[in-house]
Structure 1
């Protein structure tokens, strides 16, 4: 049996890499189709994988290229994939965008295992970009290319089903890069408070009012930092946030395309999340860094989000504005309850479970 791994994102690659290495140890032939250059990414690939180089590059990351440029890249990729003489029985992918679906369609592989890395909290709306993808996929939902979808927890499973995945496809196994994570609170004890704010790419999803609200929140943080020089505030822009923010004299922006999450977070002794509690916040929480989550008053959060006690919550930006530095420190020192974290991130050992599903398919082939 021959397995092909797809992923050009370092976080999602961590999931499929763990599965791929386990398959190699069981005598399975594993290859990796390297599309990192299309996304301007660069990370190490295990030497145990047979690496297939496409030779295709792009002046901009694929997802911000215009539609004509994307079509040219995909056509070139299709030709490269067709010219490869190696035949594959299974595809294991950590991403499921236009690049991955093009490869799956071209190879005509029917056994496709997708590990959904990102935490999803709501139905994905059918915006213009997704309508164009739907047309490109041949009037198919992208999940229709998959045999199995493995995800972080029950919340993401429900969101995937609402977004078009079939219930029998989706398994809330957890994801390998969170296997056996230990969540606990870490008290703040430094004199200087360095805060990293995790930005979101609202405009990318056509949520323009949310993008404007985020800009206003950043402007308030700028004023807060000017009034409280003992607080250093860094804004980590989402890699897909191309919104032009005004000059903010007291804030430093970190480009998520140029700096990895780990490097950004290493500077912080506190993190602020805004409006959407993404996978990034759980990753940070696993590293025992205090998190303050600022809700958006116009978002109807699920009951699970409202009741969880593993983030310190502020109900709105207006409530956040009532906090002084000492209250902020007291807030992040509050005791947290992590008993319900598994609803979002199943942090037990997912790897053997995912391997069982793959090996069963191989044995039944």
Structure 2
């Protein structure tokens, strides 16, 4: 089994790069306050972690598809289990959150356990933000949102983002065993979503040597693991590497600001109800292309992690190798939505290495809609 640690050569290169970054100026790094339990079979520690947080009446959260898993793992809570809500949905619609909130209030819930991917994690965060209750996350995908103080909620077709330290789960239980049954296609899409966090962390305005180290290593871990998962889904070493990479990439997302890529994916997902992970996988090479000339050091590190000569092309090739959709048209975006999405994407200013310009952004979205290979936008 892989130990999911860098070899001495890659570590030396990464540390040298970090030292160079540090010499270029001062930086600030804010450490998130959470507890991580990582390994195989760690789900068995749910009861122990609930007790540590003082939870006596826990509500388990899942999607409809994962409610059986929620019941099985929730049994580990014993008499601390007070209910299960299986209504988590993609993009965290506020109506679903309000429904779950009614259960929290009616059953005297004093703790939340979110079991699943980004949809369930988003619901857990939304409830924790509204109630202040202790929150345990048990990821079953590689999305990485459990590491972040960020919540995207959708109301009336518009997805808005909030930032708060109250959104970070108190404990994250990473159990490699929970990811073994994740279908290869979903694993791949989820993994590309995680890679997107690290890509943007490398050119974030508040990037620092520590998050850059984590970002490069996270991309490398996922890039070597995901193709193995496609051919051997039960490969324990690949699953461990992928979950390790997702943790690192998610930690980057939680530590520094995101830019163009995440803005575009939030706009597209909210406007057209597109599948979250696939949207990230399709848009990522095009967002990287848009920023490539303005963030050359980030592109060098991304290419190195991918073992590619060019970062945007390497990301596009990885998407193709994983048999993921490469066109927004494939996942339900209408062609007549391109201009509307571009208008929405430039409406609010946000940090990005290259200025965000209306015509160029429309060209980027159009290229992603068609599935073009990376080219300068």
How high is the TM-score relative to the length of structure 1?
A: 0.34
More strand by share: 1
More helix by share: 2
Structure of larger gyration radius: 1
